[in-house]
Every structure is written in structure tokens, then in C-alpha cells.
Chains A and B, each alone.
Chain A
Amino acid sequence: LAKTTQPISMDSYEGQEVNITCSHNNIATNDYITWYQQFPSQGPRFIIQGYKTKVTNEVASLFIPADRKSSTLSLPRVSLSDTAVYYCLVGLHISNFGNEKLTFGTGTRLTIIP
């Protein structure tokens, strides 16, 4: 599984847009990019997944440049409830199903300030 690098922590004010960037220089051709959110004492929660260009859902957008060596999770107009740890993972392609050793890094601790 491709190694990922994220900032350890970030702070932002309520109402702002937050962008968290993840580096994955060794991403393989078939790898997908997935982001999870985790609140204290809870299991991680799937946020968004993408392969290339841009993906948007009701909670976030994921921007992936053409070389796919990085990705940016964008959270629009954050609120206090968005304070959590955000994990970037690479892999999870159908061809790896069953052999996937889902690997989380240390994640990015996002703190939203009132």
C-alpha cells in the first residue's frame, strides 16, 4: 500500500473552507484515494473516495491532480462538529479486494475554532 504523508494538525475558524493535502508519491495505477474521519472513541467514518480529477459529495470534495501523487480533501464552511482526525488512504482497488491491508497513518488532527 502506497505510503501517505499528511500534516499532523491544522486549525481553522468556523465557516471557513478547509483543505487538507495528502502526498502519495508511490501511488499505483489501480489505487484509489480514500479519506476517513474519526471522532474520539469512535470508529472511522468514510468521507469520500476518488481516482482522478474531482469528486464531490454532500460533505466534501476531493481534488486529485493529473499525476495523482497528491490529493486534497476540501471541507466547505466547517463547523465545530468537524473537529476530528482525518485519514488519507491509498489503495482499495477491486483487484486487491481480499488482499488489502488497509493502512492508516497518523492522520491530520483538525481543530475548528469558534
Chain B
Amino acid sequence: DAGVTQSPTHLIKTRGQQVTLRCSPISGHKSVSWYQQVLGQGPQFIFQYYEKEERGRGNFPDRFSARQFPNYSSELNVNALLLGDSALYLCASSQHWTGQSYEQYFGPGTRLTVT
């Protein structure tokens, strides 16, 4: 089975522009989460979607938005890009829990560079 896929792999944008990142979860997974990872730091939670509804939001400005589609794929949008938005953006999918816990499966990420 294919793992979590993300597109594009790399992206270069200029300040003030808008960007859309895409994620396809593992088949059968209904939850998608987005993370931002700045160089040298751990991933920081941005959003979680489950069954097309937002279920969690991290401490990110309103310039960040996301949505989940009926096929459970997801898009992350970032408006008015700042230099500080340069990071690796990770998508993770998970099933509705099995047993008493759940694990997330991460994609390879999209490397965004803002100049």
C-alpha cells in the first residue's frame, strides 16, 4: 500500500504570495494532520482534520487554513507568506483509533522556501 503522499516536494515562493500544499492519506485513514518543522526543531502542530471536520488547531495565525475533501485528502493554504514560513510542512494520517491508542504516519513533507 502507498504511504502518505505530499505534493509538491519542493516549492519556492516570494514574500506576500500564497501557497497550497496537498496531502493524500493512507487508504482507509480518515484523519489528516498538518505540521510545520523549522530547521533544527521538532514538528509543530498546525491542524487536524477528521471526517472532513477540523478537530484541532495549533497556535498559528489565520493566514494558515486547511480543508479535507470527501476522499480524505487535504490541502494546507498559507496566505501572505513571510520569510519565517520557510519550513518543511509535514502531513500525517491516522485511522480512527484502534484499541486504546493511535499512531500517525507521516509523509515525506513539502519543503517551502520563502524569499
Contact between chains at A43 and B102 (CB < 8 Å):
no
Interface residues of A in 16-46 (CB under 8 A from B): 32, 34, 41-46
Contact between chains at A43 and B90 (CB < 8 Å):
yes
Interface residues of B in 38-77 (CB under 8 A from A): 40-45, 48, 50, 55-56, 58
- Checking A44, A45, A49 against B101 with a beta-carbon cut-off of 8 angstroms, the contacting residue is A49
Query: Which 6 residue pairs spanning A and B have beta carbons closest together?
Result: A43-B106, A104-B42, A98-B55, A46-B103, A104-B43, A32-B101
CB B94 to nearest CB in A, in angstroms, measures: 9
**Could you say which interface size class chain B belongs to?**
20 to 34
- Flag whether A77 is at the interface (Cβ < 8 A): no
Interface residues of B in 1-54 (CB under 8 A from A): 4, 33, 35, 40-45, 48, 50
Contact partners of A93 in chain B: CB under 8 A: 100-101
Contact partners of A105 in chain B: CB under 8 A: 42
The CA of A102 and the CA of B86, in the complex, are separated in Å by: 21
Interface residues of A in 90-114 (CB under 8 A from B): 92-94, 97-107
- Known contacts A43-B90, A98-B56: does B44 contact A104 (CB below 8 Å)? yes
Contact partners of B56 in chain A: CB under 8 A: 98-101
Closest A residue, CB atoms, query B53: A98
Most chain A Cβ neighbours within 10 Å, of B50, B100, B105:
B100
